[in-house]
């Protein structure tokens, strides 16, 4: 039922001592009957509705509501009717639904709500796009036509891998990305992925990959000048024998090869390992030491050069830092970016 406006359908009380006019009392608070007019017709006066201020488009309100919706309005509204101690809508308020961005609320709910809660937008997601597709650009995906195809397919971030390529090479790719975005009238984030303090295997005899057999034993040496074979592999990390221990695992070639440490000789700088699977190993493959706090700088001189002379210059959107180990590593990267910007 609609709450009536204060004083809209009540009859004033006559003053004491004043003669009451011979008028008939009002029939009810919901319907008032006027006196007979000259044409012997009766005019029915309906109770006045509260004044309502419409805060949405006029087309949002339905002039002829359907059955069961006589006391409901489909819009954001506020009322000037005074209500004692108006409080925000609570969980006990009638349910609301959102249709085409408008709140569907009953009039009693509106009358008992404050203006802020009524004007609040419905609980909807204004930006439903939460997942982004990051694509690494390489020799086969750097032309304008290829980049336009990637953008149409949903690429929203372009990743530039600075473990490979020169600044000039990456600049050409970036220029093509911006041309493709301009042609399609869209945007694409730019991500610079640093090389980081990588650990790599060394060179091999004759430059050919070697086949490592499962359960075979291999010696890892920190003498990076050694050319390796299936029994001896050079590693670029000088503190390898000191930082690992028997039972530790070493991952190589993007995790395709797993070694288990058998023994360490810090004096000779060698580590004896057992190969857990059969696989081929090529030259200069990356190596990872799970759970080991490696003694390497977060930002190498190459990383600093890439960030300052390419990343800041081109105003990249993201930086992917490799081999981050603690919060101070992030602070260091921010410091480098701040000095250059």
Question: CATH number, domain at 182?
Answer: 3.20.20.60
Among 288, 313, 332, give the residue marking a domain's end: 288
Find where tokens 């060394």 sit.
202
86 part of a folded domain: no
Same domain, residue pair 226 and 277 = yes
Q: Is 51 part of a structural domain of the chain? A: no
Number of domain units in the chain: 2
Beta bridge partners of 159: 136, 191
Q: 193 and 210, same structural domain? A: no
Statement to judge: residues 148 and 184 lie in one domain? yes
What's the whole-number average pLDDT of the chain?
76
pLDDT digits (tens, 9 = 90+) for 215-231: 999 999 999 999 999 99
304 and 187 assigned to the same domain: yes
Distance CA 263, CA 274 (A): 10
Alpha carbons 268 and 253: distance in angstroms, whole number = 25
Span 252-279, average pLDDT = 96
Q: Are residues 136 and 266 in the same domain?
A: no
Tell me, yes or no, whether 213 lies in a domain: yes
* Global model pTM greater than 0.75: no
**How many alpha carbons fall within 13 Å on the CB side of residue 287?**
23
What was the pLDDT predicted at 338? 87
- The pLDDT value recorded for residue 226 is 95
Parent domain of 220: 199-288
- Residue 189 in any domain: the answer is yes
- Does residue 111 lie in a domain region? no
Task: Please tell me the predicted confidence (pLDDT) of residue 86.
Answer: 45
Top-ranked range on mean pLDDT: pick from 46-50, 61-65, 110-114, 156-160: 156-160
Rounded to an integer, what distance in angstroms lies between the CA atom of residue 236 and that of residue 221? 9
What mean pLDDT do residues 62-79 have? Answer: 42
- Residue 167 scores a pLDDT above 90: yes
- Give residue-wise pLDDT tens across range 80-120: 444 444 444 444 444 444 444 444 545 555 455 555 555 55
């Amino acid at each position: 039922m609609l709450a009536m406006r204060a004083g809209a359908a009540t009859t004033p009380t006559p003053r004491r001592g004043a003669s009451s006019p011979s008028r008939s009392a009002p029939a009810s608070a919901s319907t008032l009957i006027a006196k007979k007019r000259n044409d012997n017709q009766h005019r029915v006066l309906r109770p006045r509705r509260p004044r309502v201020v419409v805060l949405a488009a006029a087309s949002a309100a339905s002039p002829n509501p359907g059955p069961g919706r006589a006391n409901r309005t489909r819009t954001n509204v506020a009322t000037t009717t005074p209500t004692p101690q108006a409080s925000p809508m609570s969980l006990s308020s009638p349910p609301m639904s959102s249709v085409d961005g408008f709140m569907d609320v009953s009039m009693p709910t509106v009358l008992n709500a404050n203006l802020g809660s009524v004007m609040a937008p419905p609980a909807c997601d204004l930006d439903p796009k939460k997942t982004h597709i990051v694509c690494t650009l390489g020799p086969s995906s750097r032309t304008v036509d290829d980049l336009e195809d990637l953008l149409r397919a949903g690429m929203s971030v372009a990743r530039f891998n600075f473990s490979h390529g020169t600044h000039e090479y990456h600049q050409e790719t970036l220029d093509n990305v911006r041309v493709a975005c301009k042609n399609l009238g869209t945007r694409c984030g730019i991500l610079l992925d640093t090389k980081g303090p990588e650990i790599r295997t060394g060179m091999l005899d004759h430059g050919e990959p070697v086949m490592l057999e499962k359960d075979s034993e291999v010696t890892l040496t920190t003498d990076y000048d050694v050319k390796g074979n299936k029994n001896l592999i050079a590693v670029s990390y000088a503190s390898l024998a000191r930082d690992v221990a028997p039972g530790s695992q070493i991952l190589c070639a993007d995790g395709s090869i797993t070694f288990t440490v058998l023994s360490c000789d810090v004096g000779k700088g060698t580590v004896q390992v057992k190969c857990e699977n059969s696989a081929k190993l090529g030259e200069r493959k990356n190596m990872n030491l799970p759970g080991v706090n490696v003694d390497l700088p977060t930002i190498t001189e190459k990383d600093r050069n890439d960030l300052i002379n390419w990343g800041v210059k081109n105003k990249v959107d993201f930086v992917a830092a490799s081999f981050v180990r603690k919060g101070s590593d992030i602070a260091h990267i921010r410091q480098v970016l701040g000095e250059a910007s």
